[in-house]
Amino acid sequence: MSTFREYSGYDAVGLAELIRSGEVSAGEVVEAAIDRAEAFQKVCNGFASTDFEAARETASAPGEGPFAGVPFAVKDLWLEWTGAPHGAGSRFTRDMRHREDSPLAAAFRSSGLISLGKTTTPEFGITGTTEPALTGPTRNPWNPRHISGGSSGGSAAAVAAGVVPVAHASDGAGSIRIPAACCGLVGLMPSRGRVIRTTAALDVPFSFSRNFVVSRSVRDAAAMLDAVADTSAYSPPAPSSGWQSGSILPPGPLRIAVSTATPSGRPVHPEIQAAFHQAVSLLGELGHFVEERDLDCDWRRFYRAFGTIGSSQLAEDVRALSVTLEREPAEEEFEPLTWRNVRAGRNRSGTEVIAALREMQAFTRGMEAFFGSIDVFMTPVLGLPVPEIGWLDPVAVEPREHDKRSAAAFPFTPPFNASGQPVISLPLGQDSGGLPIGMQFAGRYGAELTLLQLATELEGASGWLTRRPGMAQQP
């Protein structure tokens, strides 16, 4: 039992400073995290696997990195972490283990982070809720009747509950921003190519997916970007002073376009609309120039192309996994939604994929023009309040109905996976039931610093750091 009762009140930067100063030891910090992890798992079910003994052993000699001794958790999807299980939320891959670290995993370790284990994810990360048949649903620390989001739902729940201050997350269509919004966190999806690569499964020229973390504080996101940014020629230019030091500088008056227009034309829920207007007012009070402007896009063509690329990559991932496992997958090993998408991807022709890639490139050029006269574009993250467990269950809900519900719940996130731009979700509101409401802010390609500076300003003005679920406040 840990004696460090103040553990959950610190972010990762704060914990690292305490450990460096000798006020607490890495062992004490890790014991506090393990205590919280055991209680959290009983309520929220956010870990797919744990290895507390390995965490204790690492804490005995935590190294010298910027986050030396700070507890961490790794999403159970594609990030290769030596010795850890790799279930990816699927019965097909439930017995896989990692044999070596990916470059990103090595960077996390070098920074001094200590993993407690792997967090839950929906099967292959394809839904906005974490309710896989393999592990069962992961519940929201703010209210366990509700989802924690997906696909980084286990990581977001663990951070929101105060188990770890930061956790690995990834985003292929909203999977960092959606759980961050559901759980009241900061969720930065960096620009395409910004972060050190993770695995061959995502190492394709036009990947929608990007890896990073979810955090409570903006400074943790900035400091983490300093630790894991790619410095090769394949990464966009970085600020000379670094992200953490640059993020505390005022952004200056920004030109911010805002919109709640959805691809379907369906209006967002009134509580989301109210939180959106509050955020717009706050931006105005801070001196930014705000205008309403909608994205001009043929959304039917966009989502047809997005689905073609996404399903083709999923089918190739399953093929590669079958080679690794030395057996063909069986339909009964997959959830209905996943198997439908695998079959669709197998039926795509090369010409269809090339046409879809061209459509995405044209969309990206259009997005570049849209940002020609603005610095930032703001929308909500979700179109309705955080759903209850079961409403988006990919096993119980028929796939076409699941598509309709997902479109209503998550209408705003996929475009920026296609365009490669950085986007950050910030917990600027709450609904009438006390659940968080997130707003997403997109910047120009490579402009993470602008988003981090704006986020720091909004963090100070809105006070979200003081809003935490009861589970996180308990010693």
Catalytic residue positions, numbered:
75, 151, 175
CA-wise closest residue to 83 among 62, 54, 124, 63: 54
Cα separation of 129 and 394, whole Å?
A: 8
| Alpha-carbon dihedral sign for residues 390, 394, 395, 400 | positive
Helices (H) and strands (E) in the chain, counts: 16, 13
Cα 32 → chain centroid: 24
Place of tokens 């703001």: 378
Residue type, 416: F
Short-list 183, 188, 180, 185, CA closest to 216: 185
Q: What is the DSSP string of 441-465?
A: EEESTT-HHHHHHHHHHHHHHH-GG
CA atoms within 13 A on the CB side of 352: 16
Beta strands in 225-321 (DSSP E): 255-258, 289-292
CB count in 10 Å sphere of residue 66: 18
Distance of CA 115 to CAs 37, 159, 364, Å?
12, 13, 36
Residue 271 buriedness (CB in 10 A; 0-12 / 13-18 / 19+): middle
Distance, in Å, from the CA atom of 43 to the CA atom of 412, rounded to the nearest integer, reads: 30
- List 425's β-bridge partners, or say none: 187, 440
Q: In which element (H, E) is residue 40 found?
A: helix 26-44
Nearest to 169 by CA among 147, 154, 191: 154
* Cα 184 off chain centre by: 12
3-state secondary structure of 112: coil
Q: How do beta strands 289-292 and 255-258 pair?
A: parallel
Q: Among residues 292, 252, 271, 264, which one has the least CA distance to residue 433?
A: 271
Q: Which residues pair with 242 in a beta bridge?
A: none
- Using alpha carbons, list the distances in angstroms from residue 97 to 76, 77, 81, 82, 313: 11, 12, 9, 8, 22
